[in-house]
Amino acid sequence: MKLQKSSIIRAIIFSAITVFSLEYAAAVDWPQQVQTKDDFSVEFARPCGNTFSTGIIFANPDTVKASDTATILLQLEPSDSLSMFDSPLGNAIIAVNEENLMNTYANLDELKIAKDDYMLVEGEEIAVSGKSGWQKEPWGLEFKIADIQSQTVINPLVLLPKIIETEVPHLYNISLVNKNGLPYNLTQNKALPAGTYNLYFEGYDPEPPFKVTVLINGKEAETITYNMLKKIGRSLFVGGKRNYAFDAIFAGQKKQLLATTSLTKGKTLLVIQSFDLNGNERNISYTLDIY
C-alpha cells in the first residue's frame, strides 16, 4: 500500500535504522539462504561508520523470502522524498508482525510484490537483493528486526534458526587501561596499581564474541551481550551492568571493551569468559598483584 511521504516515512525510516528481548519465543525464518557465518559481510553491533550496525548484511545477492507473516507498513524506493535526502536503505520493505516486531528488508534490487499488497506471508518470495542502498560494497540483503514497543534493535541471529557451525573466539592482546590512558598488557604486566580500569581486547579469531563475562576473584564484574541495542534519545547503546555507547565499546579502530572495573590491593584472579551464539564457552585467566 502507498503511504503518505513526509513525517510518517521519516519516522518509520529513523526507527528502522536506529531502533527483543529474550522473552520472545517465536522465531523467524531466514530471509536469504545461509550456511555459515561466512555468508554475512556485516554482523550485528559491529562498527558501521561511527555507530553500531543495526542488522546483518548478507555477503551475496540472492532471492529474498519473507521471514515472517506481517503487515506491510511501507514499500520504499530511493526516489521517495525524505525531507531532501534519499533513504540509505535503498529499495526496501518494512513490515510489522502481530508481536510488534518490525522487519526491514533493505538493499533490494527487484521487488516481487505489488505496490498495493498489504501482507507478507512467511516463505513467499518478495524480492531479489542487490545494490540499491548506501552500502560501500554491492552486497546482498540488509535485514533488521526492531521491537517497536521497547525501542530496541534486535540481533536477528537471536531469532533466526541457529547456524550449526559456530566457534568460540580466541581473544588477543588483552589489556587494562587506567583513567589516564596508560595501558597494561596482561601478557607482560602482572603487577598493577589499584584503581579503575577499562579492560579491552584488540583482536579475535575467527569471529567476535556474542557474549563476554568478566569475573574478579570469582565475582561477576560485567557481562556484555550483543543480543540487542537500546535506543536512548538518538543514540544506540549495548547493555551490561551499565549502558555503553559506541565510543565506549570501540575505543579506536582495534580496541573493544570487555568491562569497566575497579581493582583493589591484593592478589587478584581475573577471568574472561567468551561465548559464541550457541553458548559454547572459552576462558582465559590472569593472576595479578594489585598494589
What residue ranges do the domains of the chain occupy? 6-159, 170-290
Q: What are phi and psi of 13, to 5 degrees?
A: -65, -40
Residue 70, C-alpha cell as written in the block? 506481517
Task: Of 91, 93, 107, give the one whose Cα is nearest residue 53.
Answer: 107
- Note whether 99 and 24 are within 8 A (CB): yes
Q: What are the 10-residue block averages of pLDDT along the chain, 291 residues in total?
A: 41 42 61 86 90 92 95 80 55 92 92 92 94 69 93 93 82 96 95 97 90 97 96 93 95 89 97 93 97 97
C-alpha span between 207 and 210 (Å, rounded): 9
Q: What is the pLDDT of residue 85?
A: 39
Task: Of 167, 146, 171, 148, give the one whose Cα is nearest residue 158.
Answer: 146
Specify the DSSP element, H or E, that contains 15: helix 6-18
Q: What is the pLDDT of residue 257?
A: 97
C-alpha span between 276 and 254 (Å, rounded): 20
Q: What is the pLDDT of residue 125?
A: 96
C-alpha span between 128 and 61 (Å, rounded): 7
| Residue showing cell 540481533 | 155
Task: Tell me which of 1.10.3720.10, 2.70.70.10, 3.30.1360.180, 3.40.30.160 is the CATH number of domain 6-159.
Answer: 2.70.70.10
Residue 140, C-alpha cell as written in the block? 546482498
Task: Tell the burial category of 24 from Cβ atoms under 10 Å away from its Cβ (0-12, 13-18, 19+).
Answer: middle
CATH class belonging to 170-290: mainly beta
Task: Of 210, 255, 167, give the one whose Cα is nearest residue 45.
Answer: 210
Q: What is the pLDDT of residue 253?
A: 67
Q: Ramachandran region of residue 35, left (φ > 0), alpha (ψ -120 to 50) or beta?
A: alpha
